[in-house]
Amino acid sequence: MPKMKGKSGAKKRFKLTATGKVKRVKAYRSHILTKKSTKRKRNLRSATMVDPVDVKRIKKII
- Output the pLDDT for position 38: 97
Round to whole Å and give the CA distance between 8 and 3: 15
User: What per-residue confidence (pLDDT) applies to 20?
Assistant: 94
pLDDT per residue of the chain (62 residues) written in tens, 0 to 9: 898 888 999 999 999 999 999 999 999 999 999 999 999 999 999 999 999 999 999 999 99
Report how far residue 2's alpha carbon sits from residue 7's, in angstroms, rounded to the nearest whole number.
16
Rg, C-alpha atoms of the chain: 15
Nearest-angstrom CA–CA distance, 47 and 62: 18
* Domains of the chain by residue range: 8-26+34-61
Is residue 56 a contact partner of residue 44, using CB atoms and an 8 Å limit?
no
